[in-house]
Structure 1
Amino acid sequence: MKNFNFYAPTEMFFGKGEIKNLPNLISRYGKNVLLCYGGGSIKRNGIYDSIHKLLKDCTIIELSGIEPNPRIETVERGIKLCREHNIDVVLAAGGGSTIDCAKVVAAGVCYEGDAWNIVTNPSKIKAALPLVTILTLAATGSEMDPYAVISNMKTNEKIGTESQYILPKASILDPEYLYTVPKYQTAAGTADIMSHVIENYFSTEIDTFVQDKISEGLLEACIKYCPVALEDPENYEARANLMWASSLALNGLTGCGKNQAWSCHPIEHELSAFYDITHGVGLAIITPRWMRYILNDKTVDKFVQYGENVFHIQNTGDKFTVANEAIDKTEQFFKDCKIPMTLKELNIDETHFEKMAEDAVKFGGLQYAYVPLNKNDVINILKESL
């Protein structure tokens, strides 16, 4: 296990009715609030009205219409609003896309240059407005991590940035807010959670027993509770476990002592950059194909561990049989959740594979991944995903 510094200072308010803490949280930072949200679901489910009622003594300026893959133009619009209205604190009510956008808005206010610069070069982030979040989708873990992913559709780039300055100060997680999440988004969000865990789980570090056990438990939770939430959207137990799994999957806990680049996320980011697809769906398509592509004599033992401990496959002595069954079960789980499992279903063909593969390696550091990948490897994985 490598040396590591674990730092996850976000204050979490988890459970029914925890939005009651919002006035106190906001008052710590001021009264001028930028409320960030997406397409309007918070108006339909009552969160919007609750926020305005609870913050009746505050001045609320709104940044609405944040896209599922948030655009740099929307970030710039938010920065402008913050400066025009002397915003003290940013409040993000939504899923990962809304929170990611809010993070870069909060940092961009404190940066004098082009906002895209702090996406491509996070070292330029030196400060940020305080950020509070109200989570409405279990998926990205953005409510408890220092990451944000922003898209520049003019250049077909989707790039992640990272800074401790953009960690939320506090996050409110009420599982009841997930009741109205559509089945498609519930399934895609679960795939996203699982991918975060898998990216850290498959590592060259061999002495990370604790991290692996946490990872296996999170994966089992997703496999157990996603079907329940799909069948019974208002099942509190299912929604609560998926919501907490989302936060724990990417707050740094499962990656402690493991220093390596991820594999599936850089590839999927290119798909989203060119085709603006749902992130979790892209990950569900890519992940089993990546697994099959990297399965070999050096990686098979990890896949056996994965199969035995996550899917409880009985080891009959043939490692590759267990490994392949584990991969098959991963793909079948996504299929059972009604996630599209080929790129063709999303009307994606080979047109941009060369460019996407080149940029995935360039921006994703795939040469440092669990199994290093080059441009041709990425093209092959994309072709297998058709």
Structure 2
Amino acid sequence: MRQFTAYTPTKIILGADAHRNVGAQVLEYGRKVLLVYGGQSLKSNGTYQDIVDSLEQSNLSFVELGGVQPNPKLSLVYQGIQLCRKEKIDFILAAGGGSVIDTAKAIAAGVCYEGDVWDFFVEGKAPKKMLPVGVILTIPAAGSEAGCASVITKEDTKEKRTLVNELAFPKFAILNPSLCFTLPKKQIAAGGTDIFAHVMERYFEPVGGNEFSDRLCEATMITVLELLPRVMNNPRDYDAWANLMWAGSIAHNGILGAGRQEDWASHNIEHELSAEYDIAHGAGLAIIIPAWMRYVYKKHPERFLQFAERVFGTKTSENTYLNSEAYKEEIIQTTIDGLEEFFRSLGQATRLSEAGIDDSRFDIMAKRATQKGSLGSFMKLETEDVLNIYRMAL
């Protein structure tokens, strides 16, 4: 286990109708709010009005910024920064999923910075101050409600980059499972895949000696494997949603990665894919993850064998041929096939060609993904490696 410092300051509030008390939470930090959200679903399902009522009951004034899209855009961040400065905003409330939350965080950083907020995403600069951000989560997926990262896409250059800073932790996150009841199945599948991928990025690491967090990771992955089909079949299953929301927050708040050498190659490879083609992030991960696994497993096969046994229930220890390299290979390949089939059972594409993507931009995406150096820790990936993974995913 590596030395680490754990810091998870976000206040998590989980419960039915919890969002109807958001005004009281905001009052601890500000008086004038920027409400950031996505499309019309927030209004059509009544959540928007619940939020407005609570803010007004707490005598809070607010302005709003809607229109956040999946793979959130830098242009809207700029609009939000200008709006905050004009209206003298002192608190930002994000109502939505990861794209909305990441947009809110980027705005919060940009308002307090005299330069271009994009500097924080591409030049390694760290914000010295950010406006406080609160969250009403409407879909478990990105984990941004409890994490310190923001991922934004710059449209003209098709760069999808990440800001990571402790100031970006939301002050609070409200998780009401009832708000997930009307989600489209496509969003549910992509969101659950993202949660699973967040755990995998931490689980598949080369250091070892992390028995406790191994078990935490494994429990989280098993939870997603069991509950994601359950909410797909019964979207009003409150307890299943509650557990998925909690799992999504834990998956990305830093705890599961404590003491580990995290990988993040799959995410960075997928970021180029969704920046180029605007595919949903989770949908892209369903394609990239199996290809990445097939490309790297020989580097540390024992980690894949543990994954097979503890997460997929393969009884490796009962087989007398366990010491056979051929049998180990079979176990690993079967497990990867099983994960791919799980993604497919959720209605997701598991090949780029199935998503209508060809190989015409592979070279460009691979070079862009590695422009600052190799990717990953489980296995260091150079440009040619990334290109090969795209080819395997085709």
| Shift of residue 40, structure 1, vs aligned partner | 1.9
CA gap of 1:13–1:34, structure 2 versus 1, over 3 A, is same
Q: Structure 2 counterpart of 1:202, which letter?
A: F
Partners of 2:120 and 2:383 lie apart in 1 by: 26
Mapping of residues 257-336 of structure 1, within 5 Å? 257-296=259-298, 298-315=299-316, 316=319, 317=322, 318-336=327-345
Partners of 1:33 and 1:176 lie apart in 2 by: 24
Asked if structure 2 preserves the Cα contact closer than 8 Å seen for 1:190 and 1:222, the reply is yes
The equivalent residue for 1:52 is 52
Partners of 2:193 and 2:135 lie apart in 1 by: 22
| Shift of residue 346, structure 1, vs aligned partner | 2.0
Structure 1 unaligned runs (5+)? none
Q: Give per-residue Cα distances to partners, 1:342-367, cap 9 Å, x unaligned.
A: 1112221111111110111225x534
Matched, 1:41 2:49: no
CA gap of 1:277–1:367, structure 2 versus 1, over 3 A, is closer
Mapping of residues 49-128 of structure 1, within 5 Å? 49-56=49-56, 57-128=59-130
| Shift of residue 20, structure 1, vs aligned partner | 3.7
Q: Structure 2 counterpart of 1:75, which letter?
A: V
The alignment of Structure 1 onto Structure 2 pairs a total of residues equal to 384
Q: Give per-residue Cα distances to partners, 1:178-211, cap 9 Å, x unaligned.
A: 1111101000101100000001100111100111
Partners of 1:123 and 1:15 lie apart in 2 by: 37
Asked if structure 1 preserves the Cα contact closer than 8 Å seen for 2:186 and 2:347, the reply is yes
Correspondence for 2:256 among 238, 254, 257: 254
Q: Give per-residue Cα distances to partners, 1:135-180, cap 9 Å, x unaligned.
A: 0011000000000100011001000111111110001000111111
Q: Which moved more, 1:21-30 or 1:374-383?
A: 21-30
Q: Give per-residue Cα distances to partners, 1:11-45, cap 9 Å, x unaligned.
A: 01011121243121111122210000001211112
Asked if structure 2 preserves the Cα contact closer than 8 Å seen for 1:122 and 1:162, the reply is no
Mapping of residues 154-303 of structure 1, within 5 Å? 154-296=156-298, 298-303=299-304
Q: Give per-residue Cα distances to partners, 1:61-120, cap 9 Å, x unaligned.
A: 011001111111100000011000000100000000000000010111000111211222
The equivalent residue for 1:133 is 135
Q: Structure 1 counterpart of 2:367, which letter?
A: E
Partners of 1:356 and 1:6 lie apart in 2 by: 34
Superposition misfits of 4+ residues, deviation over 6 angstroms: none
| Shift of residue 369, structure 1, vs aligned partner | 2.2
| Shift of residue 122, structure 1, vs aligned partner | 4.7
Partners of 2:379 and 2:246 lie apart in 1 by: 29
Matched, 1:379 2:387: yes
The equivalent residue for 2:347 is 338
| Shift of residue 124, structure 1, vs aligned partner | 3.3
When normalised by structure 1's length, the TM-score is: 0.97
Asked if structure 1 preserves the Cα contact closer than 8 Å seen for 2:268 and 2:375, the reply is no
Partners of 1:212 and 1:270 lie apart in 2 by: 29
Partners of 2:342 and 2:262 lie apart in 1 by: 27
Partners of 2:17 and 2:165 lie apart in 1 by: 30
| Shift of residue 368, structure 1, vs aligned partner | 4.5
Asked if structure 1 preserves the Cα contact closer than 8 Å seen for 2:93 and 2:133, the reply is yes
Asked if structure 2 preserves the Cα contact closer than 8 Å seen for 1:37 and 1:94, the reply is yes
Partners of 1:140 and 1:124 lie apart in 2 by: 22
Asked if structure 1 preserves the Cα contact closer than 8 Å seen for 2:119 and 2:125, the reply is no
Asked if structure 2 preserves the Cα contact closer than 8 Å seen for 1:12 and 1:173, the reply is yes
CA gap of 1:154–1:254, structure 2 versus 1, over 3 A, is same
Partners of 1:260 and 1:92 lie apart in 2 by: 28
CA gap of 1:321–1:211, structure 2 versus 1, over 3 A, is same
Asked if structure 1 preserves the Cα contact closer than 8 Å seen for 2:204 and 2:262, the reply is no
**Structure 1 vs Structure 2 CA RMSD:** 1.1
Q: Give per-residue Cα distances to partners, 1:244-299, cap 9 Å, x unaligned.
A: 11101011111111134411001000001111110001001000111011121x41
SS of residue paired to 1:55: helix
Asked if structure 2 preserves the Cα contact closer than 8 Å seen for 1:72 and 1:115, the reply is no
Q: Structure 2 counterpart of 1:82, which letter?
A: C
Asked if structure 1 preserves the Cα contact closer than 8 Å seen for 2:140 and 2:244, the reply is yes
- Percent identity, aligned pairs only, is 42
